Amino acid sequence: MFIKEDDLKLNDWQFSQRKFLPWQVKLKLTKTRIQEWYDSWNGQVYVSYSGGLDSTVLLHLIREVIGDDVPAVFSNTGLEFPEIVRFARRADGEFIEIYPRDKSGKRIYFRDVIMKEGYPLVSKETATKLRKLRHGNLSDKHRNYLLNGDERGKFGMLPKKWRILLNAPFETSEKCCDVMKKKPFKQYVKDTGRYPFIGVTQDEGFRRAHQYAHTGGAAMTGQISLVDYIHDRDDVTFGGCGRCVCRSCLYWWSGRCPYNGCYDDHRAEVDPYDKAHPDKPPRTVWSHWDKPGEQAHWCRGGTFYPIHYCPEFVKYKGQQVKECLKAMVSVFQDGYIVCSLVDTLGCTACYQEFEESLED
């Protein structure tokens, strides 16, 4: 089975219509497109997975439609927050972690990119125009178009407020995404012969809207949320778990919670509700947090939630995100540092590679 190009392209009225379809219809359309793409490549596909909203929803739908065999491929650039890296590694089904590398196989880091290509400032479109105007072999017509527009108007012109960067003492370029994200995935495609599922929303910018209208996209417009999807599928109502008092704890934020992120679950194991209240109807947990009135008196963000029940609770006061040698790190109030490269590289090897790069 192959997807015909004529079936994918959308004209203006089709594009506008699809944007405002009911999300249940978008969901069905998305599942259909997932199956078609899988069949079109005889199962030789993978999910381009970042741990963000769009790719997480897409991965969940693919697991629902196809199963766990489609690899979720995550490119660890060293720039992701450590929490994102931990979340991505917990993905269901097959998971593969890749890294930006040069031709010799040596890992590339953000510092390497900005020193060679320039800083990815403002947006990809603006950074591209700045690079072309500073170093591109442009015709007079094209240069004038980027600076002043043309008879069609000023669309595509470099905004005047960013022209100061044309004379900045540093380079500006859109190449960061190419080196850190696109090239690792292209190499993965070359090595495996698999083709990607990519979850995007068309309303994030002109480029994506144009791409969606041209190809038919992944039918992900309108931000189909994972919560809405599960609610519709299983008739589950999500209460205030996101407002749980655990979310105000230092150890939850830094990934060090001794109770795996929920003291209520731990409490149900060591101090069962049925044992404490044998005269009341049985339950397996202390808090049915999705029912009216429960949150106020038990766990998960209730008004009367007794914080002292959790002996490890420490009020979270925020974190500082700092640039280390090769990655961004989170520094918490007690000095604890979380780095996305610790598990895969380690501090000693990271420092050694940094010293070697200075010698080069």
Residue 11 lies in a domain: yes
pLDDT at 202: 59
Please name the helix (run of DSSP H) or strand (run of DSSP E) that holds residue 205, with its range, or none. none
Q: Are residues 72 and 214 in the same domain?
A: yes
Q: Are residues 82 and 16 in the same domain?
A: yes
Residue 269 lies in a domain: yes
Q: Are residues 18 and 58 in the same domain?
A: yes
Q: Are residues 21 and 94 in the same domain?
A: yes
Q: HSE-up of 268 (CA within 13 Å, CB side)?
A: 12
Best CA proximity match to 213, nearest among 14, 40, 7, 25? 14
Domain boundary among 216, 233, 250: 233
Cα separation, 84 vs 50, whole angstroms: 8
For each of the chain's 360 residues, which pLDDT tens digit applies? 344 444 445 555 555 666 666 777 778 888 888 898 898 889 999 999 998 888 898 999 999 999 999 999 999 888 888 888 888 998 989 999 999 998 888 888 888 888 888 888 888 888 889 999 998 888 888 888 888 877 777 777 888 899 889 888 988 888 888 888 889 999 999 999 999 988 876 555 545 555 554 444 443 333 344 444 444 444 444 444 445 667 778 888 888 888 876 777 777 778 777 787 788 777 776 666 556 555 555 554 455 555 556 778 888 888 887 777 777 778 888 988 888 777 667 777 777 777 776 666
Q: Are residues 45 and 143 in the same domain?
A: no
Q: Are residues 158 and 31 in the same domain?
A: no
Q: Which residues pair with 153 in a beta bridge?
A: 150
Cα separation, 321 vs 53, whole angstroms: 21
Q: Are residues 133 and 193 in the same domain?
A: no
Residue 205 lies in a domain: yes
Q: Are residues 88 and 146 in the same domain?
A: no
How many domains in the chain?
3
Residue 184 lies in a domain: yes
Boundaries of domain holding 246: 237-309
Q: Are residues 182 and 87 in the same domain?
A: yes
Q: Are residues 128 and 24 in the same domain?
A: no
Q: Please report, for the domain that includes residue 78, its CATH number.
A: 3.40.50.620
Q: Are residues 12 and 91 in the same domain?
A: yes
**Tell me, what amino acid is at 137?**
N
Please name the helix (run of DSSP H) or strand (run of DSSP E) that holds residue 68, with its range, or none. none
Please report, in angstroms and rounded to a whole number, the separation of the first and last CA atoms in the chain.
Answer: 51
Q: Are residues 161 and 226 in the same domain?
A: no
pTM tops 0.75, yes or no:
no
Domain boundary among 194, 209, 233: 233
